[in-house]
Chain A
Amino acid sequence: MRRSMLFIPSNNPNMIVNGGVLGADSLIFDLEDAVSPDEKDAARDLLHNALKAVDFGKCEIIVRINGLDTPYWEEDLRSILPMKPDAIMPPKVSDAAYIQRLDAKLAELEREFSLKEGRTKIIALLETALGVENAYSIAAASPRMMALFLGAEDLTADLRCQRTKEGGEIQYARGRLVCGARAAGIEAYDTPFTDVQDLEGLAKDAAYAKSLGFTGKACISPAHVTTVNRVFSPTQADIDYAKDVFAAIAEAKRQGKGAISLRGKMIDAPIVQRARMVLEAASEIEGVDYLA
């Protein structure tokens, strides 16, 4: 379950130690933009020790490393990998070769640190025009690939356009990223909403992203987590409908019927698949097994 992914600056002890109680499904510990070049060593040491000592509860641990075009990324991995993060998030991924280079380094370090080879997953941050155009080949570049994540701020700078709340300028990128991720069988995560105060705008933006097929959304403020979790959780109406789908299937089987309809519509394979995903998500969120 990864509805909300909350960015935490990796050189801020106060935010790091409180990360587990902020309600986010995943924490993205940031070694890149949130850390100045002369503090990269301090952030690595702090994150290394915090991941060893602090209990982050059920939160998934993701670390955004510095780009492969910087002198920092190998040291980032060497420091963080022994602490067994769930995933590494490389920034500004532009093509499949970028992922394959990272994959090779992860494999080398997993062997060196006696970790299970392939355990460290990758969430690729696409924030350039080239990265968006190569969405599918990036998503399919390695078995470690877990998700694509859209970074709209850098992308709009690359596109030479203004970033707006309405998001018309990233419409194409959102669609292409979701399509590329789904075609490769992995998840898609939406860019953060950058106005910390505007929760109504956030809810609207998140609902739109959900309607396009995104699995969840990144947050740059803990104040956004509750709204994002709510939008990306199944509604009671979703859950009731999904339960009715399975009840209708059971009833049709009992009666020996081949074709099944519910509320005047035929139930076909995609509807059953969607109903199953709704009940799986609801079960995980509520701790109740709706599929039993």
Chain B
Amino acid sequence: MEIKHGAMAGTLESSDIMVTVLPSSDGIQIDLTSSVEQYYGDSIRETITKTLEELGVSSARVEAVDHGALDCTIQARLTTAVRRAAKEEVAK
């Protein structure tokens, strides 16, 4: 999937993660802020990388603000953000 424009999904609530996906021409870059960074930072980055791979995204910048989301929530929020970012933007 091609990232055509910036898009977000998720919230800043507990157990959630807010994900912003932006176009990039330089592979995958992940900028993570997490309340559990010290313990789960690597695991969250791995989940993000794997989910992007499954969605067929090879180039994107991902900004993620995590408040203790489970893997299934990370996968869901990233999937939503990527699908939104891959849609043609509708002129407002």
CA of A41 to CA of B77, assembled, Å: 10
Task: Name the one of B72, B79, B84 contacting A53, with C-beta atoms under 8 angstroms.
Answer: B72
Task: Write out the residue numbers on chain B whose beta carbons fall within 8 Å of the beta carbon of A50.
Answer: 72-73, 76
Task: Name the one of A13, A49, A52 contacting B16, with C-beta atoms under 8 angstroms.
Answer: A13
CA of A127 to CA of B16, assembled, Å: 33
Interface residue A12 (Cβ < 8 Å from any Cβ of B): yes
Interface residue B71 (Cβ < 8 Å from any Cβ of A): yes
Task: Write out the residue numbers on chain A whose beta carbons fall within 8 Å of the beta carbon of B84.
Answer: 41
**Interface flags, A10-23, vs B, CB<8A=1, else 0:** 00111001000000
Whether A42 pairs with B9 at a CB distance below 8 angstroms is yes
Q: Which secondary structure dominates chain B's binding surface? A: helix
CA of A41 to CA of B76, assembled, Å: 10
Interface residue A48 (Cβ < 8 Å from any Cβ of B): yes
What number of B residues sit within 8 Å (CB to CB) of A?
18
19 contacts between A and B (CB under 8 A): A12-B13, A13-B73, A14-B13, A14-B15, A17-B70, A17-B73, A41-B80, A41-B83, A41-B84, A45-B9, A45-B76, A45-B77, A45-B80, A49-B75, A50-B72, A50-B76, A52-B72, A53-B70, A54-B70
B82 (CB) vs chain A CBs: closest residue? A45
Task: Write out the residue numbers on chain B whose beta carbons fall within 8 Å of the beta carbon of A49.
Answer: 72-73, 75-76, 79
B10 (CB) vs chain A CBs: closest residue? A42
Interface residues of B, Cβ cutoff 8 Å to A: 9-10, 13-16, 69-73, 75-77, 79-80, 83-84
Task: Write out the residue numbers on chain B whose beta carbons fall within 8 Å of the beta carbon of A46.
Answer: 73, 76-77, 80
Whether B76 pairs with A48 at a CB distance below 8 angstroms is yes
Q: From residue A287, how far is it (CB to closest CB) to chain B in Å? A: 30
CA of A17 to CA of B16, assembled, Å: 11
Task: Write out the residue numbers on chain B whose beta carbons fall within 8 Å of the beta carbon of A52.
Answer: 72
Whether B13 pairs with A53 at a CB distance below 8 angstroms is no
A11 (CB) vs chain B CBs: closest residue? B11
Task: Write out the residue numbers on chain B whose beta carbons fall within 8 Å of the beta carbon of A41.
Answer: 80, 83-84
Task: Name the one of B13, B72, B80 contacting A42, with C-beta atoms under 8 angstroms.
Answer: B80
Contact residues of A between 3 and 53, Cβ < 8 Å to B: 12-14, 17, 41-42, 45-46, 48-50, 52-53
Q: From residue A53, how far is it (CB to closest CB) to chain B in Å? A: 4
Task: Write out the residue numbers on chain B whose beta carbons fall within 8 Å of the beta carbon of A48.
Answer: 76
CA of A151 to CA of B26, assembled, Å: 53
CA of A71 to CA of B75, assembled, Å: 25
Q: From residue B75, how far is it (CB to closest CB) to chain A in Å? A: 5
